Structure 1
């Protein structure tokens, strides 16, 4: 990359940062209060054959309640979730938990190599590095074999990826769509730099979906639980992803298509994007998305509700924990009413301002009884929540204003004891590599650290 191009990119970053500061000040997170919702107690389930009857849905709910009598998630919360969600709870799915980059990339590679009809990708960041070139080669080969490949990448997230990288994909007849270009001169309609596509979604043949927190980049090349020690400047990234098969894949496909058409992508080549799907497992899954085009954030509203209705445990892992007042108070209230609230947060992030902003919340959370752990020897990038051991979500959504108000985000909600047991085990495994922060210890930090936290907290609403 020549000096002129480096200067242009760095200048663009400065201008974009100023735009973000100016524009984010006008954005807020509208709230639908769980306490004010109507709670009709009508929860819809779907199977491979479509919506279940009210009686069938009631039987499923009753079974969930009887197997887990210590939670009220299956009553009040699911009723509220139903009101604010655009997607049904779908039965008959198989969900595989993928931990860190190597396992995720291996599973994705296998699925891509076996693709027969089409491959759809919606990604925030794809780098021109060893991993990015690996996937580029895979996708080009599949396109040449007759499998249609369609890619949406975020313009801001992939800013450092040279145009030549995407040019080779386009020259191979892959459909490549740049989400909300950062260059206003190439935008066909309203330009808003704050609208970003932060999703990480791969769909193969309309039958297999991958989603979670992992982008396509060599930073994920090593696992975070290995014995090898990382250097301070080259820590492994700790992240969580999912492989899902079953009828809920159709819901994720709909979301990809919605993004494609919303961005005025070229007409897609006719393929079997919605094949007949069969039952693959026992997990109940809901696709849940967030978009700035809606008056409220579905994910934000659902998170508020599930925290409000938690009875025993909240296990929350998040890379950029800069919560708004509603989520902050919900977590403190849960701890104060006796819920075991545990937060797994990064010791350090890839942004020093974010790191101090996260720490600015420690004192009031610890004082309310929330337990805080920081992951050591790895850069924590995962975004997961597990409540009462029966309800979990994994996806791209951070606990910050940008994710909950401005970005296109995507999560999966999973209801199933077996999967939630895996989630609980993974959380406990992370704790073995984490440090418990105590209130007494925290209040002994230096005056300089306190000042940096206060300054970062002032910027928190713009992060």
Structure 2
């Protein structure tokens, strides 16, 4: 498990530096900040060494990135593809590639919530030390990523190559995309994706099943929380049957509407016994779950309509008690940095806050 941007990017750069055959990168945001430039220089170096480098970025997520940035990669021998270009595919404007996947030599893979963006130039500890909410919207985000090896890497590779083919990015360069992979441990892992083209979200189904079957605890950390009726009902039913259900959610975000749409559901959740915590000292962007001290997930999927219906997503599910303990330790640290929502105080919130919640909820299907 990798916590926050600096640690994640350091691990990704180290893996890329060791690449001998290929590097496949898929990211919602690839920007031209110092973070993006450092990665770009490394990718150019690997391409110059004969490594096959493929980069797939989302047209909307990376809309502020100058064309010159991607042109520089192409001129250096990097294959670059734009996912659902805004100008060329306006009918697919609402279907975004929200995945964050890196595969190196078909042997190591990364996924989670961390983009290639200036928002990850520093870690969330800095944001907590220096209280500046406007600055925290731009950097120091709290996020979680994961690095894996072993047979599960082939599942990430398939997601990437399928997305490349879907976008008609042209034939990928010949490389050893599927080397023989030996087991690296006893952890059971699988990759789940969301594909609006197929009309299904594997992560949605897997999470609902895990919550509905939970016996002791459901601990979720969610960057954007705008639950559909089934997800909300599953959380409330779990709490009512005595399961320890806790949510760590953002107290502010880069866009106000998802926060208030999520808050419009708090009263029902609190009444059912769900405990809710908000991060106010840094922007919470992680998407993780740990259930019954054995089932865990890390990925790009939020608990909102956009992730479940509109976006292409990717998550790793791990069924292992040791990894779950690590996730629980991180969750407790996040709770310690959060403020718990008191049910009585919440019911007494002002009319202005309730109005914002009502307005945001009218648009929750698109958030």
Please point out which of 320, 325, 328 is paired with 2:224. 320
Q: Does residue 1:419 correspond to 2:332, yes or no?
A: no
C-alpha separation between the residues in 2 aligned to 1:129 and 1:338? Answer: 47
Query: What are the superposed Cα offsets for residues 89-111 of structure 1, whole Å, 9 maximum, x if unpaired?
Result: xxxxxxxx000011101101101
Q: Does residue 1:392 correspond to 2:292, yes or no?
A: no
Q: Which residues in structure 2 correspond to 1:187-336 (within 5 Å)? A: 187=89, 191-226=91-126, 228-235=129-136, 236-336=140-240
What is residue 177 of structure 1 aligned with on the other side? Answer: 81
> 1:376, CA displacement in angstroms?
2.5
Q: Does residue 1:404 correspond to 2:308, yes or no?
A: yes
Q: 1:125–1:153: 8 Å Cα contact kept in structure 2?
A: yes
The TM-score normalised by the length of structure 2 is 0.97
> 1:306, CA displacement in angstroms?
0.8
Structure 1 or 2, whichever has the larger Rg, is 1
> 1:228, CA displacement in angstroms?
3.0
Partner SS, residue 286 of structure 1: strand
C-alpha separation between the residues in 2 aligned to 1:245 and 1:367? Answer: 42
C-alpha separation between the residues in 2 aligned to 1:222 and 1:118? Answer: 28
C-alpha separation between the residues in 1 aligned to 2:199 and 2:104? Answer: 32
Unaligned runs of 5+ in 2: none
Number of residue equivalences: 363
What is residue 372 of structure 1 aligned with on the other side? Answer: 276
Q: Does residue 1:149 correspond to 2:50, yes or no?
A: no
C-alpha separation between the residues in 2 aligned to 1:458 and 1:332? Answer: 22
Partner SS, residue 298 of structure 2: strand
Query: What are the superposed Cα offsets for residues 22-68 of structure 1, whole Å, 9 maximum, x if unpaired?
Result: xxxxxxxxxxxxxxxxxxxxxxxxxxxxxxxxxxxxxxxxxxxxxxx
Query: What are the superposed Cα offsets for residues 257-312 of structure 1, whole Å, 9 maximum, x if unpaired?
Result: 11011111111111111111122222110010010111322211111111110011
Farther-moved stretch of structure 1 (225-234 vs 360-369): 225-234
Q: 1:180–1:191: 8 Å Cα contact kept in structure 2?
A: no
Q: 1:169–1:176: 8 Å Cα contact kept in structure 2?
A: yes
Q: What's the C-alpha RMSD, in Å, of the aligned pairs? A: 1.1
Q: Does residue 1:446 correspond to 2:350, yes or no?
A: yes
C-alpha separation between the residues in 1 aligned to 2:204 and 2:149? Answer: 26
C-alpha separation between the residues in 2 aligned to 1:195 and 1:346? Answer: 24
Query: What are the superposed Cα offsets for residues 411-443 of structure 1, whole Å, 9 maximum, x if unpaired?
Result: 000011111000000000111110010101111
C-alpha separation between the residues in 2 aligned to 1:247 and 1:296? Answer: 24
Farther-moved stretch of structure 1 (351-360 vs 322-331): 351-360
C-alpha separation between the residues in 1 aligned to 2:316 and 2:216? Answer: 22
Query: What are the superposed Cα offsets for residues 126-181 of structure 1, whole Å, 9 maximum, x if unpaired?
Result: 11100000000000010001111001100011001010100000111111010010
C-alpha separation between the residues in 1 aligned to 2:296 and 2:102? Answer: 20
> 1:246, CA displacement in angstroms?
0.7
Partner SS, residue 102 of structure 1: helix
Distance 1:130 1:230, change over 3 A: farther
The TM-score normalised by the length of structure 1 is 0.77
C-alpha separation between the residues in 2 aligned to 1:310 and 1:262? Answer: 36
